[in-house]
A and B are shown apart, each in its own frame.
Chain A
Amino acid sequence: MRKFIVILMVVLIMTATLTAEEITGLQIIESVYNRPTGQDQEGDLTMTLINSRGDERVREIKQFLKDFGDMEKKIMFFLSPADVRNTSFMNWSYDEVGKDDDQWIYLPALKKVKRISSDSKSDYFMGSDFTYDDLGDRHPSSDSHIILREETVDGEDCYVVESIPKEEEYMYSRTITWIVKDKWIGKKKEFYDEDDDLLKTLTVKEVEKIKNYLIITYSEMHNVQKDHKTTMILKNIAIDTGISDNKFTERMMKRGM
């Protein structure tokens, strides 16, 4: 009997230890969400839209973002093509669950800053393969996450996590993300449409370590259904330079960089 109790205790302790060490899908996605990327960041973003014939259209943007604790502010200045030059876009996103982003656009022809609806997250950004939601940080609590398996991609050990949106009308039925263990950075992501067919694949092609932060500098979104691609390259990145709070204001939207 005493032997049985000892064995039972050992089994219970082992089970408890294993449970404590076993990571959940939610924890992985939270680790990615919370991966430090600095207090502020600026960089030059180049998006190249490539259609199935290989024709390219290029969009150039200068962007600044800053973490204000419970919110993140981002401002983008459009440099090309010529007909959108001097347009600017500002987004304030909040950590608070369920709180919508605030968004404004400045159109130089109208000469005024206009608040726009943030309810169009499924719209494609500047005709690219990225939706507004793809470009933002989706809160982990918006989806249910499960670990499908573990895989090695390009020599890096990854968790493969499936995320199913809690919102019924969301544009994707599910996503599958390959996340590098310990680095908490995405390697690849698949987006499935409402019929559960593969719609898009996001591939992270380059990651740079800048001031000890891991920053994705080159990625590609491929719409496999339309065979259309968008590459996104981030250059001239500067982190924690102390960007002024005043950068994220109506004044700067009108004035430009």
Chain B
Amino acid sequence: MKRTVLIIMLLVFAFMLDAQIIHRGFVRTYLGTLTEQDGEYSVLQNTFDWKLDYGKGDVALFVNPVFDYNALNNNLDISLRQAYMDIYFDNFDLRIGKQQIIWGKADGVFITDIISPRDLSEFILPDFEEIRIGINAVKFDYYLGNSTFEAVWIPTFQPAVAPRKGSIWYINMLDFMMPIVYDYHNYDVGNKLSESEIALKYSYLGSAIDFELMAAYMWDDNPAMHIFPQPDTTLLIKTEYHRLPLAGASFSKAVEGAIVRGEGAYYFEKRFAADDFTVNGIREKDYAHYLIGYDHNWFGVNVSFQFIQEYILDYENDIRNDEFSNTMTFLVMEDFLRETLRLEFFTYYGINNKDALLRPKITYDFTDGFEVQLGANIFIGEEGNFGQYNENDMIYLKLKLSF
């Protein structure tokens, strides 16, 4: 209710200042149906994504309310994806408020891009702008030539959003025979200065190369499940978020007309689920996550490959994740009819489990700003990140009017 009142106040404010505010955004109808489930609708959603810009001198305001109407459960969800203020100085900028912060050079893979947590309630299928959750933060950027020093302070922790129980994307990670009792006493991270997150980045953009160096003292966006077997044969599970320090780098460079990209991060003492109850089902291990990518345009067709590897150092056999997890992505995209028709095919392929997510789509602009998109999400395999959703193959239609 409070949120609705806030949004209404915002609208009134917007209309009061109408002459000076720039409105943009889109209206979208999105219909998705599961091909393996007799055509059951998985998505029937209408979205009004409204972006308002206001600027005066060296101060600017940006507000992005989003109205999502879900026709399957007759629910209207109103949210503020972003709402922040920019203050511009000669050599530095400040951005204060709820904001999405994107780092790194990878496409569709999150390695150093860990500042904004993800909303995975529909797995990774929504557009990335909709997956990333805006965080309350203060961002400071200092510019020196082609270099940028960025510091981010996040006073309150915002976790990732997991699929809700009952959703087709929900995966039960705790498949035990014994009855489970949950303890949420340590679940919440306190709203205090000592619990805040800090991230630093140096980036350079130049003729020879673009690169970023980063370090961050974060919380792991996903909680660890500490398992305590009880004398009465139940399992007590304490869910708890843990600190996750990390350091990483990324680069992008033109080589013979192509673009070579790389990104890597080293995470210190990340918690992994394990089978050994003597360590309460959790092992702390350093972890490396890295990628190499290649983009090229062959005869007007954009092609992109990425190879991604995750490595758990000092590995122990009871850890549920593999010591090495290898994934590849492949993108091919071409525009036709003067960029009014676009064919795109994006694939994730999990090498360890031989599973994949295939995402073909075709987009046609009927007029400038009005597009129709027809696509599919096809899951292949029996297990792994993608194979576990083998029953969730989907075709969808999106109509989108931008203004």
Interface size range on A against B: 35 or more
Within residues 284 to 319 of chain B, which ones have a CB less than 8 A from any CB in chain A?
A: 295-297, 300
Residues on the A chain within 8 Å of B88, using CB: 255
Verify B102–A83 contact, CB threshold 8 A: no
A123 to B334, CA, bound (A): 11
A112 within 8 A of B: yes
Verify A119–B297 contact, CB threshold 8 A: yes
Stretch with Cβ within 8 A of B (4 or more), from A12-20, A143-151, A157-165, A245-253: A245-253
A118 within 8 A of B: yes
Binary CB contact string for chain B from 355 to 399 against chain A (1 if under 8 A, 0 otherwise): 000000000010111010000000000000000000000000000
* A119-B257 contact given A81-B402, A109-B128, CB 8 Å threshold: yes
- Counting residue pairs across A and B whose Cβ atoms lie within 8 Å, the total is 96
A100 to B256, CA, bound (A): 9
Binary CB contact string for chain B from 51 to 70 against chain A (1 if under 8 A, 0 otherwise): 00000000000000000000
Verify A104–B205 contact, CB threshold 8 A: yes
User: Whole-angstrom distance from the CB of B204 to the nearest CB of chain A?
Assistant: 9
Residues on the B chain within 8 Å of A116, using CB: 259, 295
Stretch with Cβ within 8 A of A (4 or more), from B141-149, B167-175, B272-280: B141-149
Which of B100, B148, B295 contacts A117 (CB under 8 A)?
A: B295
B203 within 8 A of A: yes
Chain A: CB-nearest residue to B25: A82
Residues on the B chain within 8 Å of A57, using CB: 367-368
* A115-B128 contact given A85-B24, A249-B143, CB 8 Å threshold: no
Residues on the B chain within 8 Å of A94, using CB: 207
Verify B203–A115 contact, CB threshold 8 A: no
Q: Chain B's interface: helix, strand, loop or mixed, by majority?
A: strand
A34 within 8 A of B: no
User: Whole-angstrom distance from the CB of B67 to the nearest CB of chain A?
Assistant: 18
B129 within 8 A of A: yes
B339 within 8 A of A: yes
Chain B: CB-nearest residue to A124: B338
A215 to B359, CA, bound (A): 47
Binary CB contact string for chain A from 108 to 152 against chain B (1 if under 8 A, 0 otherwise): 011111111111101110111000000000000000000000000
Residues on the B chain within 8 Å of A128, using CB: 338
Residues on the B chain within 8 Å of A218, using CB: none
Q: Which of A109, A115, A249 has the most CB of B within 10 A?
A: A115
A102 within 8 A of B: yes
A115 to B254, CA, bound (A): 8
B324 within 8 A of A: no
A128 to B101, CA, bound (A): 33
A192 within 8 A of B: no
* A49-B338 contact given A110-B128, A123-B297, CB 8 Å threshold: yes
Verify B340–A250 contact, CB threshold 8 A: no
Verify B102–A110 contact, CB threshold 8 A: yes
Verify B254–A118 contact, CB threshold 8 A: yes
Chain B: CB-nearest residue to A228: B338
Which of B93, B104, B339 contacts A127 (CB under 8 A)?
A: B339
Residues on the B chain within 8 Å of A228, using CB: 338
User: Whole-angstrom distance from the CB of A115 to the nearest CB of chain B?
Assistant: 4
Verify B143–A251 contact, CB threshold 8 A: yes
B10 within 8 A of A: no
Chain B: CB-nearest residue to A251: B143
Residues on the A chain within 8 Å of B253, using CB: 115
B258 within 8 A of A: yes
A23 to B278, CA, bound (A): 89
Instruction: Identify the 9 closest CB pairs spanning chains A and B, nearest first.
Output: A119-B257, A81-B368, A127-B338, A127-B339, A83-B402, A120-B297, A82-B402, A82-B369, A111-B102
